Structure 1
Amino acid sequence: MSDLSTFPSGLDALEARLRQDLAWLELPAKAWVPARTVKGQPVVDVVIIGGGMAGLVASGMLKRLGVANHVVLDKAPAGQEGPWVTFARMRTLRSPKQLTGPAMGLPALTFRAYYEARFGREEWAALDRAPREIWMEYLIWYRRILELPVRNGVSVDVVLPREDGLLDLVCSEGGRVETIIARHVVLATGRDGLGGPFVPAIAKNIDRGHWAHTADEVDFSALRGKRVGVIGAGASAMDNAATALEAGAARLDMFVRRKELPRINKFTGIGSQGVVHGFAGLPDEWKWRFLNYAMGEQTPPPRPSVLRVSSFDQAHLHLESPINGLEQEGDHIVVTTPKGRYPVDFLIFGTGFKIDLANRPELAAFEPHIRLWRDRFPTPAGMHNAELEASPDLGEAFEFLERERGSCPTLAKIHCFNFPATLSHGKLTGDIPAISEGADRLARGIVRSLFVADREKHFENLQAFDTPELLGDEWTDAETEVPAELSSERT
């Protein structure tokens, strides 16, 4: 058993330990991918779109495996990538604090190591879950200590196939447009990476200034003294409801279709390395069965999030209350359910996200060719599920597959490392628990593709390699030696 006193304290000591660990493991590996240019312009081996947690660990894995010529692009300013300090409104992460997340198997890179180095072991022991702001600070540290190649303020507007099998990424940055040529593209674009927030069509009846989705920027200070409605009771709905109440909302009404809130987190309950590594090997019908059941049961909001809302006397939960109508009446909205009519000044939709490739203009050139699960697998009777049917059918390295073989070969160079990959690969791309395993699978697949594509160059390098191991003076051929007895006879 290790002596805890030997563990470093303070970030400086932790960083020194991490550097030593990497040196002992000979990481990152030396760069090995041959450089390419097109008409004098350098080609980037991998462009990762999205600099949140998934994009960072994907970058870390590629660097670890010697793919040095890659870049991460994120449209947000540095330190605001992902949801953590933007539209995430929970006080703490929903995952248990001890999960190793993006640490890639390196103990000194875990959130626990970071937290203990900053605040001490006693504070770690007392901590329930990771505060989301400190989690973001951890990711900023992670990016810095691994020296990951992130460019902020860059928006990828269009991805286009090229006749030479490469990809053009038309990007904008501060009013300037540039085109990056890439061999592979990774979409580390989060929960809405292949679509966007879902808002029911009934919202079209009301003025846009009177409602928002939980993923929108919301001025909660403007809701002080107002009547606020929230549709849905998932984690994000609860967090937004609590934020409105804490900002001084006079009344909050939460409308839920179900008879009761879900109480059991099914997938967490069966979480194991078997699920992480085995899900992708399931037959199609079993993948569908697992996810359709889990989605039907729904994930409960965390208990602290519910208590955060229910602690306010002006919070009202309406069960068995689907929305039958929304009407604009002057400066407020009237929400109609089977149980009554409720006037609200502002309405928040906690209705999740949808997969809709038509909503991603940057992928318009590829959208007609992307094979979906509904193209691959007939929906089982009684298991209709629009989200699963619209999920992309992905290859072993999360790459898109063609709906019609040969129609768009470049599609295989685009890797879907975001939430909609779940049906093909399991929960490896969006949540903290298995994000390192997902990034490892992604990076190894890209490495294989790069090596195979460059096989002629690697064979040339094999033939040209001429650094000798032996110098020729280590031994003498026995047949060329003159035996001593023969030498004496000659004299």
Structure 2
Amino acid sequence: MKHTPNPQTLTGLAALEAQLAQDLNFLELPAKPWVPERRHEDIPVRDVVVIGAGMCGLAATAKLVLTGITNIVAYDAAPAGLEGPWVTFARMQTLRSPKTLTGPALGLAQLTFRAWFTAQWGVEAWQALDKIPKNQWMDYLVWYRKVLALPVRNNVRMTGVAPVGDLIAVDIEGAEAGRVLTRHLVLATGRSGLGGFAVPDFLQGVDRAYWAHSADDIDFDALKGKRVAVIGAGASSMDNAATALEADAGSVDMLIRRKEMPRINKLTGIGSQGVILGMHNLPDAWKWKFFDYTASTQTPPPRSSTLRVSRHANARFLLDCGIVAVKEDAGGLLVETTQGPMRYDFLIAATGFSNDFSDRPEFAAIAPYIRTWADGRHTPDMGPPRQGMSEAPDLGPHFEFRERVPGSCPILAHIHCFNDAAMLTHGKVSGDIPAVSAGADRLVRGIATSLFAEDVETHFANLIAYDTPELLGDEWVDSTPSLHREAAL
């Protein structure tokens, strides 16, 4: 029997951890392991490998463990404590999500950020908290991983994926190197999804000494006194502009193609369990309609991020300012815009990410076979194609890839796209804080169903072989013979 400390005898974080342990014990979690061991040519096979140990990767890994699927591992290329964007390229000061959202807690109250925060700083501090500082969110995720003892390996990068019979071979390098065999692969690769940075055509061929993507590791101190341009009007553009200004950039221009700043966060305004649980079952035309509309209206940057820029006298918001061309000139950049030529020392492109995985070498063995929305799921009656949506993968009900040509790469059914690229098929359940627990539940239900079905003969054999009696034979007296004699008389 598991022994858990009495929460009433402890204080602070220790009390919370004891209460969480007790709750898990009462709920019989984690469930007992149930997946039969698998080997291939005497090499052990993982049940699941998760790529990425940011918020989505941790939620997926935790849900697998709690479900009794324990022969798993999560790999992340970053050092421990630097997974995901929170303390790397996310340059906002606080999260934009409300502090009350349960995030990756998986229905466990003691696993929420709120429980973690109040255990350490109290109820009054919680009530005084406005938005969650991003570094503090990272601290919470580090605790989440630790308190659940999740099997995460850091400084390990995936370099290739290929089918080996009915298994998936994952090539890795770094702190661990070689080839790992697994039955299911989960790509919890965050905002970059499957493709990586989206780079506009006008920056192709421009020396990287003069520009960076907003998710790059930027040396902001080197921008002191420099003329800086930032492309875009979203959250990342504001956060990068503010960081440059706070590093004493000489000036920062926001180059914004739109004539007006977007002001309304549409999807957040209709957020509900209906959207979370129902979006992925809508007809394709409705899915497209929802996300095409929100893409056209755009998500505004947070008010606090915008004020963080505008409070600087050397910041300018240039609306209706599209970029025509960018050229290197006189040790800097000459940017041709719809408002005329402008000169800068450095440019930051807050241009988002791409779902185009064809140029990612680690996906080379599977990319040609992956079906996208452009391969027939989007039809002309839905409206014109939209880049970023048309190239999104056409996923199955549990985030699994589908084949462009049936039978061409069957192992795709065991590779799950649990990242931002899944949004068009599944809604916003695999990239943002509000619904990540629902996404993890949907993902793991599918993996568990698949694993059980594949091992059904073993499970049936175990059923036949099970011979632990509940009755020992001394619980009753067999009176059948005497009854027969009485009936004969």
- Same fold by TM (over 0.5)? yes
Alpha-carbon distance change, 359 to 25 in structure 1, aligned in 2, over 3 angstroms: same
Matched, 1:98 2:67: no
Matched, 1:211 2:215: no
Alpha-carbon separation, structure 2, partners of 1:243 and 1:213: 14
1:45 aligned to which of 41, 44, 47: 47
Structure 1 stretch displaced more, 146-155 or 325-334:
325-334
Matched residue, 1:488:
none
Shift of 1:121: 1.4
Alpha-carbon separation, structure 2, partners of 1:182 and 1:331: 51
Amino acid across the alignment from 1:172: E
Alpha-carbon separation, structure 2, partners of 1:285 and 1:341: 42
Number of positions where the alignment pairs a residue of Structure 1 with one of Structure 2: 480
State whether residues 100 and 433 of structure 1, in contact with CA within 8 Å, keep that contact through their aligned partners in structure 2.
yes
**CA deviation profile, 1:150-208 (whole Å, cap 9, x unmatched):** 00111110011012x0011111124x631101000000001112101111111135321
Matched residue, 2:466:
465
Q: Which runs of 5+ in 2 are unaligned?
A: 1-6
Please report the TM-score for the alignment, with normalisation by the length of structure 1: 0.95
Matched residue, 2:244:
244
Matched residue, 1:318:
318
Matched residue, 1:412:
413
Matched residue, 1:421:
422
Shift of 1:7: 12
Alpha-carbon separation, structure 2, partners of 1:221 and 1:341: 26
Report SS of the residue matched to 1:275.
helix
Matched, 1:130 2:132: yes
Alignment of 1:121-270 (within 5 A): 121-163=123-165, 165-174=166-175, 177-204=177-204, 206-270=206-270
Shift of 1:359: 2.4
**CA deviation profile, 1:218-249 (whole Å, cap 9, x unmatched):** 00011111111101010000000000000001
1:107 aligned to which of 109, 120, 124: 109
Shift of 1:8: 7.9
Matched residue, 1:292:
292
Alignment of 1:24-63 (within 5 A): 24-63=26-65
Matched residue, 2:393:
392
State whether residues 89 and 239 of structure 1, in contact with CA within 8 Å, keep that contact through their aligned partners in structure 2.
yes
Shift of 1:279: 0.5
Shift of 1:40: 1.8
Structure 1 vs Structure 2: percent identity of aligned residues?
56
Shift of 1:341: 2.2
Alpha-carbon separation, structure 2, partners of 1:479 and 1:200: 87
Shift of 1:37: 1.1
State whether residues 9 and 116 of structure 1, in contact with CA within 8 Å, keep that contact through their aligned partners in structure 2.
no
Matched residue, 2:84:
82
Amino acid across the alignment from 1:358: S
**CA deviation profile, 1:138-157 (whole Å, cap 9, x unmatched):** 00000000000000111110
Matched residue, 2:4:
none
RMSD (Å), alpha carbons: 1.8
Please report the TM-score for the alignment, with normalisation by the length of structure 2: 0.95
Report SS of the residue matched to 1:428.
coil
State whether residues 196 and 359 of structure 1, in contact with CA within 8 Å, keep that contact through their aligned partners in structure 2.
no
Report SS of the residue matched to 2:252.
strand
Q: Which runs of 5+ in 1 are unaligned?
A: 486-491
State whether residues 379 and 389 of structure 1, in contact with CA within 8 Å, keep that contact through their aligned partners in structure 2.
no
Shift of 1:6: 8.6
Alpha-carbon distance change, 381 to 43 in structure 1, aligned in 2, over 3 angstroms: closer
Amino acid across the alignment from 2:478: D
State whether residues 8 and 17 of structure 1, in contact with CA within 8 Å, keep that contact through their aligned partners in structure 2.
no
Matched residue, 2:431:
430
Alpha-carbon separation, structure 1, partners of 2:422 and 2:15: 38
Report SS of the residue matched to 1:387.
coil
Amino acid across the alignment from 2:264: I
